[in-house]
Amino acid sequence: MGFEDQIASWFLQIAYQPYLVYGLVVGLMFASSFGLPLPEEVTIISASLTAFMATHPESYPPPTPGAPGVNPYTLALICLLAVFISDYLIYWIGSYFGDKLLRHPRWNKKLQGKSFQRVQKWIHEYGTLAPCIFRFTPGLRFPGHMMCGAIGLPRWKFILVVGLAAAVTVPTQVILISVYGKLILSVLSKVKLVVIGLAIVASLIFVLMKWRKKQSIEPS
């Protein structure tokens, strides 16, 4: 079985379990918003591939005749709502607990970190557009949205900017991948060695950074 067939076989197992896919999408989107190192694009691509399969039963037959599959338009709506609500929840936490967070010793220490310094700089430079930039910048989505709430960025501005950004990008990705899923599977097959190589390199870098950090804090 080829790499493409292996991927297809894995996604096919859940392509006809729509509620499981929808639930996983919501859970992973919220976890990603709160710092899980899993880009939302990975979740969207994976879920959309199940929708592609479910809409092509002649190529990817269901386990039983007439079994319900993942619907691309329902999936697009769920992805959009999950992305927007999770972003807004972070903003709300920052808005509701802003003063306490900013005065808390742990958060005061975090505010001196590079991520929060960059967040504060971008909020100052880009103003209302900052939430849009944060949602597309790895590592800054959570601190950025929380800081927008903590410093009192107007709620309607946050909702407008983040809502528009999500509405333009999220459903588009879902529908396009649901239509051109075969091409995506083919590309995954061709770049598998590159992906595996990058994963190995990333793992080595992560281990090295952890080791260097441990060495720096150990007494000499």
39-68 pLDDT, tens digit per residue, is 888 888 889 989 999 998 988 899 888 899
Question: Which DSSP state fits 61?
Answer: -
Q: How confident is the model at residue 3 (pLDDT cuts 50, 70, 90)?
A: very low
How many structural domains are present in the chain?
1
Average pLDDT value for residue range 17-37: 88
- When pLDDT is averaged across residues 68-75 and rounded to a whole number, the result is 95
Q: If you average pLDDT over residues 60-85, what whole number do you get?
A: 93
Global pTM value:
0.75
User: Mean pLDDT in the chain?
Assistant: 78
More confident residue, 87 or 115: 87
Per-residue pLDDT, 13 = 83
List the domain range (segments joined by +) for residue 37.
3-217
* Helices and strands counted in the chain (H then E): 12, 0
Helix residue ranges per DSSP H, 16-71: 18-33, 40-54
Kindly indicate the confidence band of residue 114, based on its pLDDT and cuts at 50, 70 and 90: low
Angle, CA 33 vertex, CA 185 and CA 38 arms, to 5°: 35
Which regions of 137-181 does DSSP assign to beta strands (E)? none
Euclidean distance between CA atoms 154 and 87, whole angstroms? 15
Whether 84 shows a pLDDT value over 90: the answer reads: yes
Cα–Cα distance, 26 to 40 (Å, whole number)? 11
Give the tens place of pLDDT for each residue, 181-190: 777 766 665 5
Structure tokens, 136: 């597309």
Q: Output the six-digit token pair for 5.
A: 């067939």
